[in-house]
Amino acid sequence: MLIAPSLLSCDFSRFGEEIKRMDEAGADYMHLDVMDGHFVPNITFGAPVMKYVRSFSDKVFDVHLMISEPLKYIDDFCDAGADIITFHIESDSDAVKTIEKIKSRNVKAGLVIKPKTPAQSVFPYLDMIDMVLVMTVEPGFGGQSFMADMLPKAEALKAEINKRNLDVIIEADGGIGEKNIADCAKAGVDVAVAGTAVFKADDPKKAIALLKEKCK
């Protein structure tokens, strides 16, 4: 299990230092949630801010675009240092064109599904992408409770990926902590996004190590 601290839970007044703190604690990815106030009812930050904090870590920048028209902003986030860009299948942009745009910049591409969206909605695109992100809360705000009934989606995705012998990883995001991360691993999740469980821990290094241990 790879651990991707959700920077939505960090102290934004110390954004760069928080990334460095997670890096030193053993994070595998840095998960950056970009919200436009339209696709989801919240606003976070854009590419200029991300570009500034990119220098604080060499770890993978895993950028989750919760925006209505991701295709318009792919170049901005690639220029800002994204390693992976995921966008919602429910967004207004054409999925194939958006995937192709991301890949043309030598950045990994992924699709995201909201809780009410079936796993099968991304099956037609699996051979084009590198990741599927399964939301285990409604996107928009941190600190929500984990929705265990989303895990069958991860199982369905893993089965389809294995059946087609594809190299696609599954990420889960929302309310993940030591009580449920093992269930995520059993369902086929490869990357767990953890916000409160890591940022609010007294010792983030121990918290990340514990999350990984729970999955063994």
**Splitting the chain (216 residues) into consecutive groups of 10 residues, what average pLDDT does each group show?**
96 96 98 96 95 97 98 98 98 98 98 98 98 93 85 98 98 96 98 95 97 96
**Which domains are assigned to the chain?**
2-214 (3.20.20.70)
Active-site option among 28, 62, 130, 173: 173
Which of 11, 28, 33, 149 is an active site residue?
A: 33
Residue indicated by tokens 């053993």? 26
Does the active-site annotation cover 11? Answer: no
In sequence order, which residues have a C-beta less than 8 Å from that of residue 9 and are 6 or more positions away?
142, 143, 195, 196, 198, 199, 200
**Known catalytic membership, residue 203:** no
Cα–Cα distances in Å, from 123 out to 99, 118, 128? Answer: 14, 10, 10
Q: What is the pLDDT of residue 146?
A: 94
